[in-house]
Amino acid sequence: MELGRKIADYIDARLGIRDILEQNLTKYLLPRNINVWYTLGAVLLTLFALQIGTGILLLVYYNPTVDEAFHSVQRIMNEVPFGWLIRTVHAVGANIIILALLLHMLSVLFMGSYKAPREFNWLAGFFLFLLSLGMCLTGYLLPWSQLSFWATTVATSSSQEIPLVGDLAIRFLRGGAMVGQPTLGRFFALHVIGFPLLFGLLVLAHLFCVRRVGISRPPFGPDWHPAEPPARFHHEEHRGGIPFFPHYVAKDAAIIAFFLALLLGVVFFAPGLFFPPTAFEPADPFVTPKGIKPEWYFLWAYQTLKIFPSEFLGLAVQGVAVTLLLLLPFLDRSPERRPAKRPFFVVAFLLGIALFIALSVWGHYS
Amino acid sequence: MKQLLMLAAWPLFLHLTSIPSPAQTTETVCIQCHGALPGKLGEPVKLWKGSVHAANGISCHNCHGGDPTDMAMAMNPSRGFLGAPKDRAIPEFCGRCHVGVKEDYLASAHGRALGRGGPQCVTCHGNHAVFKATPDLINRRDCTRCHDYGRAEEIRSSVIETDRRITELEQSLLALHRTGIVTREMEGELFSLRNRFHRLFHNVDVEKVRNQTTGFQAELGKIRGQVIAIENKLKQRKLWGGVVMALLLLGGVLALLLHKSYKEEI
């Protein structure tokens, strides 16, 4: 015990680890009125870590070739000790992450936390969201099931609608005329190396922005007033606030536990929720399964493409909507963040959620 | 230039992370052409779509031959096109795949009466809307078209329980398959058993059917045993999953209480 303390003291005298921990845990103060929505960042970090962990374990047995991919996943599910658990947690975890990301983004929008001086936080977060969707899409192909093959065929075929570069785009995505080994190879590389590397950097950038600018104070309560963003850099401090550790960490831990319980609830009691029967059939380019539908978080996009007379128009509308959302902090420049004082935004916000749900339900039943 | 390239790449990235458009079905030229034709020429496609053949991926060319990829040569005999068989040739036509059933049928009273008013495959199973073989095909309405229902009813009553067990086991295997369990071997055994069992009906020999049904039930019992073992394992997983979930929920509630106590301290 004494030896351990001496080693810790030795290291601390040289690196100042205790000081870093103190500055970022017990001396890191958060607004007193911080609410439960702020825990979603910690929830997401935990879920991402779980994805990385399960993903590495899956890599031990997964074989990214069209002849072996499906069988290797079957081996993982049936022969590898706890393989079924690792694989199901990875697949269901991706869906729970999208749910948590959507909630995180919606809370940031509702509380106006994307506004100046936090534009970069928003941009990094938004790119993390897009990258997460990209990882879901690339991961979808890897089991090389009927669902994987046809969902990817349909998803990549829309690229042909892009004017001038349509054919080039589809060949670039697939690595050939059809979904095949080159597609699996490039999706695998993106899923396990390309996107995660980029993702890690963006997470660091996002956390850096959050920590550097300071966490935003929830725009509620009588003493909250809008303030013009400072002309020079200013770290927002919360004197008299609650310490991050142990106060807020306890709340983070509670919500993380609830999300993990939700994840395990689906894994153990409703795994079929995210696995249609076609997910357990090997890919067959000559048999098109009936009613191939994208995952729930892509249903709105799927239905949008069906509403418009041409796929290109549908894609353009989606592109405009996503770009507007990305650039929102630069378009909505008012310092007011209280929802009660932003009726136009709140109505648009609620209509946006209603539209997302309506298009998704329509897409599911269409 | 870099900015231009980034702008050009932006819609592609958006596209990668959004999409899925409606699925498109790839069809053989037989279905493309006949599916659009009215009356007698288009009817087979409509009937086939609801058949057990369609459900199992058996398409026009698998029975009628020809080239399903070449519109111009699809029905050319040089590409193996056979067309529709005459009544007498139907057992040979279907028997190319259903070999065992053909043998038992030809040796039966039904088969021996082929060409002399006796029934052939499509009499009971239909042609393009091929019904799945079940004991329901043995029924008073159809059998009394040619003869008394007595013997047919005896056969039906002796096979119906075994057939019910086969169907039940098929559904159990399907449910296991949909949780990611590899059931291929058991499915194969059951498929073979089911075919051998259904082949047995075709000899229309009541005594033989009764005697062999016991053996089939013993084989079914073995597969059922394997299924029960897997189902028990899944139940155990759920139990452990439930325990971990309960612990997480309890941990979450305790953490919330801890957080509340900290807040009260401030």
Give residue B69's region: left, alpha or beta (phi > 0; psi -120 to 50). alpha
Handedness of CA B77, B80, B81, B86 (dihedral sign): positive
Please give the average per-residue pLDDT across B21-36, as a whole number.
Answer: 71
* Cβ atoms of B127 and B63 closer than 8 Å: no
End-to-end alpha-carbon separation of chain B, Å?
57
Please give the average per-residue pLDDT across B43-64, as a whole number.
Answer: 91
Asked if the structure places residue A92 within a domain, the reply is yes
> What is the spatial distance between Cα A185 and Cα A147, in angstroms, rounded to a whole number?
18
Contacts 24+ apart (CB under 8 A), B166-175: B166/B190, B166/B193, B166/B194, B166/B197, B166/B220, B167/B134, B169/B220, B169/B223, B169/B224, B169/B227, B170/B194, B172/B227, B172/B231, B173/B227
Domain range spanning residue A192? 31-219+238-288
pLDDT score at B265: 67
The single residue listed with the structure tokens 């909505």 is A332
* Cβ atoms of A295 and A136 closer than 8 Å: yes
pLDDT band for position B266 (cuts 50, 70, 90): low
How many other CB atoms are found less than 10 A from the CB of residue B193? 19
Could you say which residues of chain A have pLDDT below 70?
none
pLDDT score at B21: 41
Asked if the structure places residue A270 within a domain, the reply is yes
Cβ-based contacts of A157 with chain B (< 8 Å): 21, 24
Asked if the structure places residue A333 within a domain, the reply is no
**Complex confidence, ipTM:** 0.93
Q: Does B235 touch chain A (CB under 8 A)?
A: no
* Cβ atoms of B191 and A291 closer than 8 Å: no
β-strand A242-243 against A29-30: which pairing, if any? antiparallel
Does residue B15 register a pLDDT over 80? no
The single residue listed with the structure tokens 């570069």 is A165
pLDDT score at B151: 86
Greater model confidence, B10 or A130: A130
Cβ-based contacts of B57 with chain A (< 8 Å): 287
> Which of A155, A260, A264 has its CB closest to that of B20?
A155
Helices (H), chain B: 2-17, 29-34, 39-49, 52-55, 60-64, 90-95, 99-107, 109-112, 121-125, 140-143, 150-177, 184-201, 206-265
Q: Residue A201 belongs to a domain with what CATH number?
A: 1.20.810.10
pLDDT score at A158: 82
Asked if the structure places residue A318 within a domain, the reply is no
> What is the spatial distance between Cα B183 and Cα A360, in angstroms, rounded to a whole number?
34
pLDDT score at A292: 82
Instruction: Give Cα separations from A189 to A75, A145, A185, A220, B6 (angstroms).
Output: 21, 18, 6, 45, 22
- For A59, phi and psi rounded to 5 degrees? -60, -25
Residue B96 to chain A, least CA–CA distance (Å): 23
> What is the spatial distance between Cα A315 and Cα B120, in angstroms, rounded to a whole number?
55
| Contact call for B263 and A155, based on CB within 8 A | no
Please give the average per-residue pLDDT across B22-50, as a whole number.
Answer: 81
Window 151-180 of B, Cβ < 8 Å to A:
177-180
Does residue B13 register a pLDDT over 90? no
Asked if the structure places residue A47 within a domain, the reply is yes
Q: Does A261 touch chain B (CB under 8 A)?
A: yes
Helices (H), chain A: 2-15, 17-24, 40-61, 69-78, 83-110, 119-141, 146-157, 166-174, 181-189, 195-213, 249-269, 299-307, 311-326, 328-331, 343-365
Q: Does B131 touch chain A (CB under 8 A)?
A: no
In single-letter form, the type of residue at position A202 comes to L
pLDDT score at B8: 42
> What is the spatial distance between Cα A105 and Cα A126, in angstroms, rounded to a whole number?
8
Does residue B6 register a pLDDT over 80? no
Across A243-252, B38-47, B209-218, which has the greatest mean pLDDT?
A243-252
Handedness of CA A97, A137, A124, A18 (dihedral sign): positive
pLDDT score at B16: 47
* Cβ atoms of A246 and B262 closer than 8 Å: yes
Cis status of the peptide bond prior to A285, with omega within 30 of 0: no
Q: Residues B137-186: pLDDT tens digits?
A: 899 998 898 889 988 898 888 889 899 999 999 999 999 999 999 999 99
Asked if the structure places residue A210 within a domain, the reply is yes
Domain count, chain A: 1
Q: Does A195 touch chain B (CB under 8 A)?
A: no
> Which of A261, A286, A311 has its CB closest to that of B249?
A261
| Contact call for A250 and B256, based on CB within 8 A | yes
Residues in chain A: 366
Instruction: Give me the percent of chain A exceeding a pLDDT of 70.
Output: 100
Task: Name which of B5, B15, B31, B239 to mutate to probe chain A: the one with the most chain A Cβ atoms within 10 A of its Cβ.
Answer: B15
Q: How many CA atoms lie within 13 A of A292 on its CB side?
A: 23
Does residue B20 register a pLDDT over 80? no
